[in-house]
Amino acid sequence: MVAALLCFMWAMLAALGLSNLRYSEAGSSRNIIIVGLSLFFSLSIPTYFQQYGISPNTNLSVPSYLQPYIVASHGPFRTKYGGLNYVMNTLLSLHMVIAFLIAVVLDNTVPGSSQERGVYIWSEPEAARSDPAVAKDYELPFRVGQVFRWVKWVGL
């Protein structure tokens, strides 16, 4: 049950992130480079961190979803603070964290117009709330929203 909920959560998160790309100009070389670099680094940096996961003398095979937690104890990021080592080694060995960080940094540093970046749709909050396409992105799929109608009554 927990695995099914985890799969559902990650699928929704990835779909929502990719659906926001439709507001930006997909043919822009700026956006193509940002998406390409974030995908490349999200595959290569965690692989570098995960090679520290298992010592070469053991025959232990670990599932890929446990690799970030094994890397946390003895990854390449080493300081005199043990807690900081755990946090940085774990975060830098997760693909989604690296893709997010690279994309946010590049999107906010590489110059581009608001149309090219896709932020024009959120520049006026009232227009974004009234746009049905934006509201549809943030609603729950299928009939799951009907189960959670009570949330509106509680005031959340």
Q: What is the pLDDT along the chain (156 residues), one digit of tens a residue?
A: 788 888 888 888 778 777 777 777 778 888 889 989 999 999 998 888 777 755 555 556 666 666 666 666 677 878 888 788 888 888 888 888 999 999 999 988 998 887 787 777 666 666 656 666 666 666 666 677 667 666 655 444
Give the integer Cα–Cα distance in Å for 51 and 95: 14
Rg (the chain; Cα; Å): 20
Helix, strand counts (H, E) of the chain: 10, 0
Note whether 109 and 65 are within 8 A (CB): no
pTM over 0.75: no
Residues 78, 85 contacting (CB under 8 angstroms): yes
